[in-house]
Amino acid sequence: MAPDGQRLVVDLQKMLVAQQKWQDAGIKLLNASVKAQNTVNVDPNQVGLFHEFFGTYKLVPQYAYDRLSEGLKACGAISATLKSGHDAYQQQDDANRDSFTGLN
């Protein structure tokens, strides 16, 4: 049934699942950023014959870290928004259920 503008159906469990998936994605990005910092950095003393190219390359690790950090922040914001929405809807459901308690 299509929404009629007066009714909103929310699957609270699916919101929690989506929130957890975004949180998990953020954790993967965090792990990737740490790994990138540890494995992509190159010691200038080890480049040898490639020292001419090193000037350009040395910007790559920071760029990768910055982009991964942006992704982490975005995942965190989406996860927090879903959790906040879930909590608000759950609170409304609880209040509505409590208002019907004791009616016969």
Within the chain, where are the H helices? 12-40, 51-57, 60-100
Give 42's Cβ-side CA count (13 Å radius). Answer: 16
The arithmetic mean of pLDDT across residues 2-23, rounded, is: 82
pLDDT digits (tens, 9 = 90+) for 51-101: 788 878 878 888 888 999 999 999 999 999 999 999 999 998 888 877 776
**pTM for this predicted structure:** 0.73
